[in-house]
Structure 1
Amino acid sequence: MARILSILVGLFFTVALAWSFGKGAYTQITEPPALTAEHEFHLHPKKVHFASDGAFGKFDRQQLQRGFQVYKEVCSACHSLSHVAFRDLAQLGYSEAEVKAIAAGFSVPGTDPNTGEATMRPGTPTDYFPKPFANDIAARAANNNAVPPDLSLMTKARHNGPAYVYSLLTGFTEQPAELLKEFPEAKTPSGLHYNPYFANLNLAMAPPLTADGQVEYGDGTKPTVDQMAKDVSAFLIWTAEPKLEKRKQTGWAVLGFLLFATILGYMSYRNIWAGKKH
């Protein structure tokens, strides 16, 4: 009896699942969802290559330093790097004195040793990059009611993150006339900016990189908008995964060990079972 009951219960759920699937498929065919501006005009990230791409990729330290400069002079006014300490910049090739100088150029929360009151003090290498706003309310007030996201893990938090960041920075443009004609209700609201690489096409962030030469590179690289966007994207790859090179090196060592173990196992098999008959 119990077996028959369990079969009937299983049959019921199977039929219910098949019915719901069939109904959903029928509805999708007979009543397809209406197209939206986001569906029609949202673009996938541009194709862009970084030195760290691929199984043998390595960071270009010079590019990372340029990217940090772009972050410091342009992006840090709104975006934080809360998971990155100043001392981590030594991995980019900065000397101890340079790291101390960079840290001292930022003000971080501290405590007055005489009064115990909260105060601001120059940063030290052990400090983390400070937040540009005291709280979310202040951040929203300065950014059209939007809180600028922390950039520490941005290239890991978005699909195809490095290309997404690069595309977003270079993708600001006027709304296409075709979009306004087909979806007049999708006109970019006042205070927002059209960018086809953003999910809903409009974002509160104004174009941060507006002109060539906005940042002056010390290594002679021409600071075009495209170059600056690529450099800061490369820097954010590093902030999201500073041990990327070590991971790849370890991966190759593990693959080498597995290959050796596979060959050794096969040779052992041949040696032990070569004369055995099944």
Structure 2
Amino acid sequence: MKALKNKVKNFIKIISFITFICFSAIQANSAETAKLLKTDWSFKGLFGKFERGSLQRGYQVYTEVCSSCHSMKYLSYRNLGEKGGPEFSEAEVKAIAASFEVTDGPNADGEMFTRPAKLSDKFVKPYENVKAAEAANGGAYPPDMSVLVKARSGGVDYIYSLLQGYEDAPSGMVLDEGVHYNKYMYGNKIKMSAPLSEGIVEYGDGTEATVEQMSKDVTTFLMWAAEPHLESRHQMGFKAIVYLIILTILVYFSMKKIWSRVESEV
């Protein structure tokens, strides 16, 4: 019996120690990073929808700024014209796809060749393989952006904040060559230089391309890439709620009618 009590005590001590370590790590991480920025996301909430203009501008930012390093391997060009997404016209999507070249083959002579991309092709990758990507980025691998908002704690708020979090390092902090300070990055150190600057892209719809606006637009685009059926899920959820409300009302009145008969017989 005494041996059992000792084992229980030791187990409690171990659990307490592990809890203390985890709590300390959480506090340390929280102290290193600033509170994430917040903005009004149109796709949040039960009735949330993607803003088409923002999605199209976000695709432009990705293409002109991000795609030189980051891939989106789960997206095909045809997705850009699908309902619930940027909804480019068929002609626009074909023109977008044709502006990229993909490697295909082998041909009749057994050789690989390049051709304009088709709607069914996946987004063209900036590098042939992981090693080539690392070699071009000082040993750091630029992550694929297809589901990036789902892979990062904080989701859209984290990506939105990170893009605007570049600052001069605090006094006393030493950064290695090629490393930059970002107050929203875990550990505050990031190898990617600030990708956005005022007017780096020129929006076709006349929207001013501020860093804040571009951050919001490209983050909206990345959210759609990770959740392409978000709008249809919201619609289905709303229909399910309405159905359950109607069903509850019908069940209530049915039970009331049944119990009224029982009471009258008694």
With normalisation by structure 2, the TM-score equals 0.88
Could you tell me which residue of structure 2 aligns to residue 158 of structure 1?
Answer: 152
Percent identity over paired residues:
42
> Residue 243 of structure 1 corresponds to which residue in structure 2?
229
> For structure 1, which runs of at least 5 residues remain unmatched after alignment?
1-7
Structure 1: which amino acid aligns with 2:138? N
Q: 2:98 is matched with which residue: 97, 101, 104?
A: 104
Aligned to 1:268: 254
Residue matched to 1:41: 32
Alignment partner of 2:67: what SS? helix
* CA shift in 2, pair 1:27/1:118, >3 Å: closer
CA contact (8 A) 1:87 1:125 kept: yes
Write the letter of the residue equivalent to 1:49: D
Task: Give the letter for the 1:193 counterpart.
Answer: H
Residues 274 and 40 (structure 1), Cα distance of their counterparts in 2 relative to 1, 3 Å cut = same
How big is the shift at 1:87? Answer: 0.5
Residue in structure 2 matching 1:120, options 114, 121, 124: 114
Task: Report the alpha carbon displacement of residue 271 of structure 1 after superposing the two structures with TM.
Answer: 1.2
Deviation of 1:172 after TM superposition, in Å, equals 0.9
Q: Which amino acid aligns with 1:102?
A: I
2:49 matched to which residue of 1? 58
Whether the 8 Å CA contact 1:38–1:201 is kept in 2: the answer is no
In the alignment, the residues of structure 2 paired with residue 44 and residue 254 of structure 1 have an alpha-carbon distance, to the nearest angstrom, of: 36
Confirm whether residue 83 of structure 1 aligns to residue 74 of structure 2.
Answer: yes
Deviation of 1:27 (Å): 8.8
Give SS of 1:276's match.
helix
1 CA distance for matches of 2:8 and 2:101? Answer: 59
Measured after TM superposition, the shift of residue 44 of structure 1 is 3.4
TM-score (norm 1): 0.84
Residues 17 and 101 (structure 1), Cα distance of their counterparts in 2 relative to 1, 3 Å cut: farther
**Letter aligned with residue 259 of structure 1:** I
Which stretch shifts more, 95-104 or 39-48? 39-48
Q: Deviations over 1:3-43 (max 9, x none)?
A: xxxxx8xx94x8745542245537977xx969997553212
Structure 2 unpaired stretches of 5+: none
Is it true that 1:204 corresponds to 2:191 in the alignment? yes
What is the identity, as a one-letter code, of the residue corresponding to 1:82?
K
| 1:121 match: secondary structure | strand
Q: Per the alignment, do residues 134 and 249 of structure 1 end up closer, same or farther by CA in structure 2, a change over 3 Å counting?
A: same
Superimposed CA distance per residue, residues 35-93 of structure 1 (whole angstroms, 9 cap, x where no aligned partner): 99755321232112211111111111011100000000000000111111100111313
| 1:144-193 Cα deviation digits (max 9, x unpaired) | 1111111111112222311111111110111122xx3xxx5xx2221111
Deviates more, 1:164-173 or 1:113-122: 113-122
- Indicate the residue corresponding to 2:220 in structure 1: 234
Where do 4+ consecutive residues of structure 1 move more than 4 Å? 26-29, 32-39
Partner of 2:210: 224
1:25 to 4, 12, 16: 16
Two-structure CA RMSD over aligned residues (Å): 2.7
Distance 2:209 2:243 in 1: 44
Number of aligned residue pairs:
259
Q: CA deviation at 1:140?
A: 0.5
Confirm or deny: 8 A CA contact 1:85 1:127 kept in the other structure.
yes
3-state secondary structure, aligned to 1:74: helix
Aligned residue for 2:104, secondary structure, equals strand
